A and B are shown apart, each in its own frame.
Chain A
Amino acid sequence: DAGVTQSPTHLIKTRGQQVTLRCSPKSGHDTVSWYQQALGQGPQFIFQYYEEEERQRGNFPDRFSGHQFPNYSSELNVNALLLGDSALYLCASRNLEGATYNEQFFGPGTRLTVL
């Protein structure tokens, strides 16, 4: 049973560029959330997708956008990259309709460095 997978593992971009990160949820999971974790901080909630729609959003600017596909996989897009966007981007999935609906499983993350 594959867990949550993310790609790429590492990414280096320059300021002003755009980036797309990808996530495949754990088998049987229908909900994907994205988090940004800066060094020395806890993960900060970006947004959550369920049934291909953004359902909740954290305090992040519109430069951060996402998408969920019919197979439940998801993308996170960040436009006009800033140095401060350098962080570990984590994807987490869960089954919103299941008995353990509030337990999330995380992928290994994508480490984004903006130069």
Chain B
Amino acid sequence: RKEVEQDPGPFNVPEGATVAFNCTYSNSASQSFFWYRQDCRKEPKLLMSVYSSGNEDGRFTAQLNRASQYISLLIRDSKLSDSATYLCVVGDSGGYQKVTFGIGTKLQVIP
């Protein structure tokens, strides 16, 4: 089983739609969780950290379910500019915080 699993997609959604991505992780001792966005042939950029209480940033909402070991990202009112690959990232409990990336989920928002 992979340490971090994501559906690679692609998810093709119309503008204005709501789309949700899930990610599961295998290490129950994982301590930190993130969503990164990566545009084609560019570096990953931090979209948001994910907290146990859930967190929201504008149209983006992230949730963490420790019991089931999954993380979700919800994007409301999708924009064309949201088209990208969304990477789920999980950090371990070690002092140096090694992180593991998922394969990424590709989102294509269509007009």
Q: A residues bordering B, Cβ < 8 Å? A: 31, 33, 35, 40-45, 48, 50, 55-56, 58, 88, 90, 96, 101-109
Contacts and interface: CB of A to CB of B under 8 A. Distances in A.
Query: Nearest 8 pairs between A and B by C-beta?
Result: A42-B101, A106-B43, A102-B32, A55-B96, A42-B103, A56-B98, A43-B101, A56-B96
Interface stretch (B14-22, B44-52, B59-67, B69-77): B44-52
B102 A42 contact: yes
Interface of B: 4, 6, 8, 31-32, 34, 41-46, 49, 87, 91, 94, 96-104
B101 A44 contact: yes
B74 to A, nearest CB: 21
Contacts of A45: 98-101
8 contacts: A42-B6, A42-B87, A43-B44, A56-B94, A56-B98, A96-B96, A106-B45, A108-B42
A35 B8 CA distance: 19
A66 B72 CA distance: 35
Contact of B96 (A41, A50, A90, A105): A50
Contacts of A101: 97
Contacts of B4: 42
Contacts of A43: 44, 87, 101
Contacts of A108: 42-43
Contacts of A44: 101
Contacts of B43: 90, 106-109
Nearest to A48: B96
A105 B98 contact: no
Given A42-B103, A44-B101, A104 B96 contact: no
